[in-house]
Structure 1
């Protein structure tokens, strides 16, 4: 059907017609195997192609040279065997009417010498990148010639694989290390003037164009403003775009603003929840207006309204919704079908990127099927037989279980002791900066409401309440409660981080937050305490504070705390708390030596995760047909649960999420999806 929606209009890019204006920009979900984009990688991109995205940009980035070893699991574009794997991915996406490109790069100093083949890191100057810490060898003329040839070889491989084009990474990586006066320390002809600093990129482009011809698109994702004193300015960034345009070698630009050499800088380039949406969109629009090259851009464009504005206002030709498509790969289909309200929201948690930068695979915080397309469904199939499913708890685990069961066609009843859904997510979302996370709950409540799920709030369900429903399946998702018994003595003199976050306990004036869990909860409490004007010390026995709060999520906490009375103490263990007049005396030990230091506070806050709230599960367990047991082999392989051993004809009983053990939102959602999809 024809549509007047700006997002659904086709776009002609040189010889290629893109069927709409929505793309996923280059990113590396770290799914390759042995450096190759095998089935897991292919199916991830294919899911988005089947749902209507016009262009999927693979890799972020694929390495063109052996001395550009991946710092996470990147595609190795310098190997000939990549052609066959990329061809299979491309052919599958082309069958769905989706164009395919790849991002090619040499990382330069943005990697480490102790990866891959242990070759020296090279850069256009001697300064190291703080994030990856390697001191680079200053690139020599023979390195430059070799790397240019590597780029051309890689581009030729991608053309042989049938891709529609390639994009070169010119922000933070070697091309940009030449382009930026902050990192280029070379003499002429490779350093000094903008013309000299741009020479490497232009020679790469020329070499690649010679290999691939005119019917293969070449683009530049480049830093058009480093937003850093002494770096590339807005005006210089526009001049760089004009250089690309006038060369006739560049078919499109993809605009970046900022640097990625540190965690704070990268978080400004790729903002997370609590930060401004689309902060660089107007700047990208300025480049499009002043230069005229086809312009792409992605930086926290999480929703359809913002994307539609970007295209309708003429700021962009193609809008990138990359993290949004990790949350919901079916965005385009839902727009086409008039079902925008069904789109699973990207809540900006950036669990996806943070996992990658810590060496893991990209996973969406609340879509457990993303990256698991081989085994987990994005669309739930109806069950052969309708059953009565009772769920206890409305945190992310319980609501996902209810949603999936309802989509299967089952009759679903949900008990919740509180007056509102959300569990720990609702507590987390009380912090203004993290309020968007309530979208995890709101979306599921809307999906359940559309499927007539019966919610019983303000009901503390006991075994008889559950049995009265005559269920076929019972799922206990009652979550956990904070661990209070944390130290050797004086636990009764402490409060939990939950007490602070809920407002049940007001912050003191001189506060110790003892964090033995390392998750968001302690930092959220510390931020609230500091913002109340108190002095706060965050202490942990770990060698780093908050190890479960990954790189990009740590940045806003530090920005909230570092200009206040906040300190951080690592490698010390709180052992005792006792009263000393109107103060609390804390005894502090260490795992590294026998130690008993004393310190004084007026409030001690502890954070040691949660313990399962599972009394109901244990009450019901002997009355269930499976005695609460789970066949892990069946769970992993995606087969229905068939374990028996309890009373015949009884209900099946399962517990999920933090009712099992303290984990995180993704684990809770994954527990529910992979269990309930087969009920």
Structure 2
């Protein structure tokens, strides 16, 4: 076997898992008033069927409404939720996978607009960061000892319900902004009683919960913890020494496994949430190895319980190496399994090239935490859909389909139609496929987008989809094909400014700079959206002096919040100049005239002016073909200029309708 350790059995307390691949708890935000529904069952079952050995269900609230994070959060604080949970566990077990239910209380991060109540926490200390996740920064009510003990009991009762529902165990959520970590963190827990004042007392909440769960659920039920073992930054509330101590204490208390994470106290974007497009693969393996070593130093022996680790670890060789080097015993592949539910099976079948990659865009996180919507994915159009309309069925009638343009929407449409039995050909004017994916991979720290292009080529070869590169098409050549269906996916049209000097030779589109066109040393970018800011980062890393002019009051406003934080911080660090609420009124040969936010006219010297003021739909081809071919559709950026997730969803939806 190519990856013997990855596909070997492992033990988590009383539970035997068929392999070392874990789907970690990742909220998809699709419950119906706290209940499990068909969409949730389908989501987790698909990943169990795809080969994951252990499936950990997203966080479920032990005390609603007070402990809710979002309005679509699962709930397990009453027996009425057991029936749905039971159906979920049974469906996962049908595919020889084990399952745990993650349980938690949001604590001080709970929003009054969701719960209708003041948030509560170990101390009256408000959240230090909120905008990334739309969390509450309201000062919480400090819990009394009696109230804390009641919440401990709610955790234990939730675990008992999970056992009654057929789950193999539970996971205590103790990272990020949830109550578990709030007790462990010296910044959020300033108590001086039995629950705070030292690391020995800050762990009391967890030890009590573990003891109470074990008393109710017995030894044949796994208890695991997802644990922040280190916080980054000067004001960190959990040191590595403290994290190691917490891990040791939980082991000694009888916890069966630990999933280790890293967080941050004041940074809006924390490491566990920001495995972004530039993150290193397996970024947490050294952390888990350090925790194992730390426990060994305390006890003089190897850790008694397995450690689950990962971080952009949806790559079999990286996971195998970590396991062989004993950095962990199980590997979580969270976003990798969101993008490709069949990842483990494809690895076993020696078809890794066909694994649809996670590109680290964090759209999955942004949708639920920032916008309180179901998760969606830039690679997987099915993620986050509340019904079964994406279940593929063979087409009733085989059709010849011509797709004009070879971008991400086109390739997804071609993939689905080929699977459904249609005869598909893609016509692309350039000598490569991928459309704007190639440009999207050009800015710094976007290397994790490149595998998308490799996947496109592999899936096209696997499905024998015909591709004709260097093939610009017009109305006559398209009509001559006599295709049953024509899909237009020719990309967007740039918005054009009507400014004096707009036609000067040193004025051109920002995407041309990303494609390699040379700029001068001093660059002004008109438009501070996503493309404008990413182009700025691309240029400042080359040592260019960049000024970004934006008419609105914020920059990269449509970008995923976690990635936006990283990008803007990086631009600031590298010395980019931001001018918000500023309008460009004139372009000169070596300068631009602007009206700034105070209403003052300013002249900014520059060598090159780049335009990044947005794009609009391109319906010309579609309009000219309408009524001349049996079926015609317009998809992708030529229909709605937007992100990858929108394009791939449009391609998928059109393909299942034909």
**What TM-score do you get using the length of structure 2 for normalisation?**
0.91
**Of 563, 585, 593, which aligns to 1:553?**
563
> Aligned partners of 1:578, 1:335: CA distance in 2, in Å?
55
User: Where in structure 2 are the equivalents of 1:388-537 lying within 5 Å?
Assistant: 388-485=400-497, 491-492=502-503, 494-509=507-522, 511-515=524-528, 518=529, 520-537=530-547
Q: Secondary structure at the match of 2:110?
A: coil
Give 1:152 shift: 1.9
| Residue 238 of structure 2: aligned partner | 232
| Residue 647 of structure 1: aligned partner | none
Do 2:444 and 2:538's aligned partners in 1 also have CA atoms closer than 8 Å?
A: no
Asked whether 1:623 is paired with 2:633, we answer: no
| Residue 124 of structure 1: aligned partner | 123
Q: Secondary structure at the match of 1:257?
A: strand
**Of 359, 362, 385, which aligns to 2:375?**
362
Give 1:228 shift: 4.2
Q: Which stretch of the first structure deviates more once superposed, 416-425 or 398-407?
A: 398-407
- Are residues 573 and 341 of structure 1, via their aligned partners in 2, closer, same or farther at CA, if it must alter by over 3 Å? same
Q: Which stretch of the first structure deviates more once superposed, 531-540 or 145-154?
A: 531-540
Asked whether 1:668 is paired with 2:618, we answer: no
| Residue 637 of structure 2: aligned partner | 658
| Residue 221 of structure 2: aligned partner | 216
Q: Which stretch of the first structure deviates more once superposed, 596-605 or 442-451?
A: 596-605
| Residue 585 of structure 1: aligned partner | 593
Q: Which stretch of the first structure deviates more once superposed, 523-532 or 224-233?
A: 224-233
User: Where in structure 2 are the equivalents of 1:134-283 lying within 5 Å?
Assistant: 134-172=138-176, 173-229=178-234, 231-248=237-254, 250-259=255-264, 262-264=267-269, 266-267=270-271, 270-283=274-287
How far does the alpha carbon of each residue in 1:331-377 deviate from its partner, in whole angstroms, 9 at most, with x for none?
12222323222211122222111222212221111210123373344
Do 1:477 and 1:658's aligned partners in 2 also have CA atoms closer than 8 Å?
A: yes
> Aligned partners of 1:578, 1:341: CA distance in 2, in Å?
48
**What TM-score do you get using the length of structure 1 for normalisation?**
0.88
> Aligned partners of 2:223, 2:272: CA distance in 1, in Å?
27
> Aligned partners of 2:499, 2:150: CA distance in 1, in Å?
62
Do 1:126 and 1:136's aligned partners in 2 also have CA atoms closer than 8 Å?
A: yes
Give 1:599 shift: 3.8
- Are residues 448 and 39 of structure 1, via their aligned partners in 2, closer, same or farther at CA, if it must alter by over 3 Å? same
Question: Where do 5+ consecutive residues of structure 1 fail to align?
Answer: 626-651
In angstroms, what is the RMSD of aligned CA positions?
2.5
How far does the alpha carbon of each residue in 1:561-611 deviate from its partner, in whole angstroms, 9 at most, with x for none?
1122223333x25252243x7422224579xxxx56444342443323223
> Aligned partners of 1:323, 1:238: CA distance in 2, in Å?
26
Q: Secondary structure at the match of 2:573?
A: coil
Give 1:72 shift: 5.8
Give 1:462 shift: 1.0
- Are residues 384 and 578 of structure 1, via their aligned partners in 2, closer, same or farther at CA, if it must alter by over 3 Å? closer
> Aligned partners of 1:95, 1:512: CA distance in 2, in Å?
55
Q: Secondary structure at the match of 2:418?
A: helix
- Are residues 465 and 510 of structure 1, via their aligned partners in 2, closer, same or farther at CA, if it must alter by over 3 Å? closer
- Are residues 46 and 260 of structure 1, via their aligned partners in 2, closer, same or farther at CA, if it must alter by over 3 Å? farther
User: Where in structure 2 are the equivalents of 1:560-571 lying within 5 Å?
Assistant: 560-570=570-580
Give aligned pairs, total. Answer: 639
| Residue 326 of structure 2: aligned partner | 314
How far does the alpha carbon of each residue in 1:639-673 deviate from its partner, in whole angstroms, 9 at most, with x for none?
xxxxxxxxxxxxx2111111112122111111111
Do 2:374 and 2:385's aligned partners in 1 also have CA atoms closer than 8 Å?
A: no
Give 1:507 shift: 4.5
**Of 587, 612, 637, which aligns to 2:617?**
612
| Residue 313 of structure 2: aligned partner | 301
How far does the alpha carbon of each residue in 1:232-275 deviate from its partner, in whole angstroms, 9 at most, with x for none?
33233222222112223x111111123365323x1366421112
- Are residues 57 and 32 of structure 1, via their aligned partners in 2, closer, same or farther at CA, if it must alter by over 3 Å? same
Give 1:548 shift: 0.6
| Residue 637 of structure 1: aligned partner | none
> Aligned partners of 1:676, 1:462: CA distance in 2, in Å?
23
> Aligned partners of 2:480, 2:59: CA distance in 1, in Å?
54
Q: Secondary structure at the match of 1:329?
A: coil
| Residue 646 of structure 1: aligned partner | none
- Are residues 373 and 661 of structure 1, via their aligned partners in 2, closer, same or farther at CA, if it must alter by over 3 Å? closer
> Aligned partners of 2:89, 2:284: CA distance in 1, in Å?
30
- Runs of 4 or more above 6 Å deviation: none
> Aligned partners of 1:416, 1:225: CA distance in 2, in Å?
49
> Aligned partners of 1:584, 1:575: CA distance in 2, in Å?
7
- Are residues 381 and 309 of structure 1, via their aligned partners in 2, closer, same or farther at CA, if it must alter by over 3 Å? farther
How far does the alpha carbon of each residue in 1:151-208 deviate from its partner, in whole angstroms, 9 at most, with x for none?
1222222222221111111223222222122322111322222211111111122122
- Are residues 384 and 528 of structure 1, via their aligned partners in 2, closer, same or farther at CA, if it must alter by over 3 Å? same
Q: Secondary structure at the match of 1:8?
A: coil
